[in-house]
Amino acid sequence: PLLLPETAFAHLRRQAAALDALRPRLNACCRHHSPLPCARRAWTDVLDGFCTDEFGVKTRQFHCCRRHGPA
């Protein structure tokens, strides 16, 4: 668990939640017949979810969430 105060650091909680969501998906990709495309898909799915969460709050969004497509 993160050792952050309850009333602040929501941006760090969202980042940590994204990394926590990525870990089991990457572990599953290691057993996949084509691990690299699986890992890329896992990363983009988790990152898309993270950015959706970022744009759902009234704070400054993480810089990578402003990029689109392959960027």
Residue-wise pLDDT for 50-64, tens only, equals 888 887 877 766 767
Answer whether 0.85 is exceeded by the pTM.
Answer: no
Residues 6+ apart with CB under 8 A from 35: 29
Could you tell me the two tokens for 30? Answer: 């290691």
Q: Give the pLDDT confidence score for residue 52 in this predicted structure.
A: 85
pLDDT at 69: 60
Rg, the chain, Cα only: 14
∠ CA 8-44-61, nearest 5°, is 30
Q: Residues in the chain with pLDDT < 50?
A: none
Q: How far is it, in rounded angstroms, from Cα 2 to Cα 9?
A: 10
Predicted local confidence at residue 11, as pLDDT: 81
- Dig out the tokens for 13 from the structure: 């909680």
Instruction: Give residue 38's pLDDT.
Output: 96
